């Protein structure tokens, strides 16, 4: 990860270190309008081939992936070519997977334009697409050659997309340390102070990078990063089924509220810290609208989660205390339904 205050200097330094023949820029329709001009101002991509895809999670699919491969073919990309993924998590996930599979793998740089991508999708080497209504069902571990983070891009975000990324930062604090959790809860989300945000972001990314470095293929400790995602991904997939998509970070926030309750139920997580965190989530992320008639479908979606050790049980990452992670926690259906009840009553 390279954090920079000057996009031109940061990108120039990265490109100098890479021997490539052709440069490709992948953006979606949103980042092409809001973020590509900032990149073009650097004067470093004048000869790049631009590939544009539709924006939105609904387009993170095989058809869009094939269109990227087709463009790479038509522009005569080689194994020495370089792909720069300019966008949020959808672009970095799909672009990274396209690069990792084209000609058995070309190099790529992630230039995240959303807070969510900077702290989550662009860092850690996970790439992929959604398939058959399931999040990131097809993909590969393929680390980017570099990840270049410039907070100037985050000023293009609406508040909801900013909060989406902040949820992942909150997750990192919960699996890391009490002091960091306190800082995240106290940060003013209405009047954003970008120098303070930059410092919080640096710590958040370093938390993830340290975990990924120790377990790149998710055999053990890296499962800590799944906190909030087992239920969160089910909620996100459920909303996609209903054609009422929600931002990833919102689903993760709701998932964390439920999984903190499971941590309280199974591991005696502190009741006051549970209440404080869930109150923060309710204040900033609202609630996920569902009722008991939807419980079985959510549970069924959770059974498809890639993190499960078998098809009959659902495995969670839970926390006994802030910074005290417990992976591979099998939870019974009755407890999961109780967590749903808690969420609906509290939020």
What is the pLDDT, as a whole number, of residue 304? 86
Give the CA radius of gyration of the chain.
Answer: 20
Separation of alpha carbons 266 and 65, rounded Å:
41
Q: For position 279, what pLDDT does the model report?
A: 97
CB 343 within 8 A of CB 265: no
Q: Exposed (0-12), middle (13-18) or buried (19+): which is 192, by Cβ within 10 Å? A: middle
pLDDT at 169: 97
Q: Which residues of the chain have pLDDT under 70?
A: 1-4, 311
Chain-centroid distance of CA 189 in Å reads 19
Q: Quick one: CA dihedral 277, 279, 282, 284, positive or negative?
A: negative
| Tokens 């993909």, residue located | 139
Distance between CA 166 and CA 248 in Å, rounded? 11
Q: Rounded to 5 degrees, what angle do the CA atoms 137, 138, 141 make?
A: 110
Full set of structural domains in the chain with CATH: 2-156 (3.40.50.1970), 159-346 (1.20.1090.10)
Q: What is the pLDDT of residue 254?
A: 98
Q: What is the pLDDT of residue 150?
A: 87
φ, ψ for residue 170, nearest 5 deg: -60, -40
How confident is the model over 305-328, as pLDDT tens digits? Answer: 777 777 678 999 999 999 999 999
């Amino acid at each position: 990860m390279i954090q920079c205050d000057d996009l031109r200097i940061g990108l120039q330094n990265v490109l100098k270190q890479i021997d490539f023949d052709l440069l490709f820029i992948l953006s979606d329709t949103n980042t092409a309008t809001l973020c590509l001009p900032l990149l073009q101002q650097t004067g470093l991509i004048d000869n790049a081939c631009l590939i544009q895809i539709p924006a939105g999670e609904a387009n993170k699919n095989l058809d869009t992936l094939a269109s990227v491969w087709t463009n790479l073919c038509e522009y005569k990309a080689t194994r020495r070519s370089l792909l720069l993924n300019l966008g949020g998590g959808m672009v970095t996930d799909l672009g990274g997977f396209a690069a990792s599979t084209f000609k058995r793998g070309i190099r790529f740089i992630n230039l995240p334009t959303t807070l969510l991508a900077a702290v989550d999708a662009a860092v850690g080497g996970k790439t992929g697409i959604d398939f058959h209504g399931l999040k990131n069902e097809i993909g590969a571990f393929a680390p980017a050659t570099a990840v270049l983070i410039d907070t100037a891009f985050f000023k293009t975000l609406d508040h909801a997309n900013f909060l989406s990324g902040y949820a992942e930062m909150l997750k990192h604090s919960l699996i890391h340390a009490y002091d960091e959790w306190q800082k995240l809860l106290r940060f003013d989300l209405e009047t954003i102070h970008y120098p303070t945000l930059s410092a919080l972001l640096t710590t958040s990314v370093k938390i993830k990078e340290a975990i990924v470095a120790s377990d790149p293929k998710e055999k053990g400790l890296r499962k800590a990063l799944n906190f909030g995602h087992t239920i969160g991904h089910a909620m996100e997939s459920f909303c996609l089924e209903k054609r009422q998509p929600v931002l990833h970070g919102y689903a993760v926030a709701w998932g964390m509220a439920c999984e903190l309750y499971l941590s309280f139920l199974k591991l005696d997580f502190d009741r006051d810290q549970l209440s404080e965190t869930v109150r923060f989530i309710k204040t900033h992320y609202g609630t996920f609208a569902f009722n008991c008639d939807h419980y079985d479908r959510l549970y069924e979606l959770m059974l498809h989660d890639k993190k499960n050790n078998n098809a009959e049980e659902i495995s969670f990452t839970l926390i006994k205390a802030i910074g005290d992670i417990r992976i591979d926690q099998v939870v019974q259906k009755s407890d999961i339904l109780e967590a749903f009840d808690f969420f609906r009553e509290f939020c």
